[in-house]
Amino acid sequence: MHNNEKIDNHIFSVVLLNMEPPSFSSYLDFDNSGNFIVSEFGCPINAYLNIFDGLDVTIDQCESYRLMTQRQLDIYNAFRAEFKARFVVDRDGTTPDDFTILCFLQADKYDIKLAMKRLLGTIVWRKHIKLNDILQRPPASLAVFRQVRSCPFMGYDNYNRPIFVERMGEFIGALDTPIARSITHSNYLACCIYEMGKPIQKFREQAKLGRPLWKQVYIVDCQHATFVKAIASINLLKSFSKDVEVHFPEQAAAVYIINVPTVLSSVWRMASKILDPVLVSKIQLSNDVPTDQLLQIMSKEVLFKEYGGENMAPFPHVAAFLQGDSDENIN
């Protein structure tokens, strides 16, 4: 135990004990072991904490584990032992596994104090937001949310990492439309949390092939973003950083922000101060589409044709943006 650790253990004990067991709805199925499965993504609800829950994989199959130095391995073993000594198993049986423990430790650069605070805080946060309820009964506004956001899976890169591409400029442009305004702030966050099932599903697919990893490549297309609307989206970004990025850490292998208008440089400076510095260090900005750079980590067959590749899979525009009244909207 570290003497300088200031976390109040009694807080976590109060939150984690005597929780009411959840009641599940038709949004959940069962696997062969009787575990609850989020139907849309085919993953157990516990995978929103333990990504590989229920899969026959071991920590030594994970590249993030194998590439650790001896010093890092010693820190991991110390953190793992301390966490298991302090953690009170909650009633629903969700206990962070070795993959999760390693992920959180690496997210905080092997700082045991910070990683302990983040991981225990995440367990409390899951209870506070009633994560199981979100997964049982996806927000009523989910269908509307998907008219505001387009973030499809594009394929896997050369390192078997899933790639997701988001039309962020159109998302920002749609935020002031009647459709978007019908979604409450809390429902936006609930939808974002539910949608974390998309990368989790792809991580699990790779794990079934003997390649457990929790890293993805994220391409953010800022085409059609304007200065005024980008400024207006800052508060939403703050909430996303606080409630999603913190509690689903270390998932970004690389982030490419493309088609960035020059006028947004000041917005980026503000946004970069909100985000985790580790995440910011993985972000590369381009004023256009850096096709050659993208093709260094993925094949032409994977990259969408719109960006210079050969992938003809659907890449829908944001429906609410297309239906909006803005002069910047696509004709």
What pLDDT digit, counting tens, does each position of 244-299 carry? 888 999 898 999 999 988 877 777 777 777 777 777 888 898 999 999 999 999 99
pLDDT in tens, 137-174: 888 889 999 999 999 999 999 999 999 999 999 998 88
- Higher pLDDT pick, 225 / 162: 162
In a domain, 2, yes or no: no
Two tokens at 250?
Answer: 């270390």
Q: Which of 126, 127, 164, 121 is nearest to 48 (CA)?
A: 126
Q: Which residue, of 112, 136, 160, is where some domain finishes?
A: 136
Range of the domain at 71: 9-136
In a domain, 329, yes or no: no
**Rounded distance, CA 286 to CA 262, Å?**
10
- Higher pLDDT pick, 23 / 51: 51
Percent of the chain with pLDDT over 70: 84
**Rounded distance, CA 280 to CA 305, Å?**
27
Q: Which residue, of 91, 117, 136, is where some domain finishes?
A: 136
Q: Which of 157, 167, 319 is nearest to 258 (CA)?
A: 167
Alpha-carbon distances, residue 181 vs 138, 189, 207 (angstroms): 19, 14, 39
Strand partners, 147: none
The pLDDT of residue 104 is above 80: yes
- 101 with 146, same domain: the answer is no
- 109 with 126, same domain: the answer is yes
In a domain, 330, yes or no: no
Specify the number of domains making up the chain.
2
Read off the pLDDT band of 24 (50, 70, 90): very low
> CB under 8 Å to 139, separation ≥6 — which residues?
145, 187, 190, 191, 194
- 121 with 235, same domain: the answer is no
User: Taking residues 213-241, what's their average pLDDT?
Assistant: 81
Cα-based torsion angle of the residue sequence 192, 197, 198, 199 in order, rounded to the nearest 10 degrees: 100
Q: What are phi and psi of 221, to 5 degrees?
A: -95, 115
Alpha-carbon distances, residue 41 vs 136, 204, 240 (angstroms): 12, 10, 21
- 128 with 191, same domain: the answer is no
Q: What pLDDT does residue 37 have?
A: 78
The CATH number assigned to the domain holding 245 equals 3.40.525.10
Q: Which residue, of 107, 136, 165, is where some domain finishes?
A: 136
User: Taking residues 25-40, what's their average pLDDT?
Assistant: 58
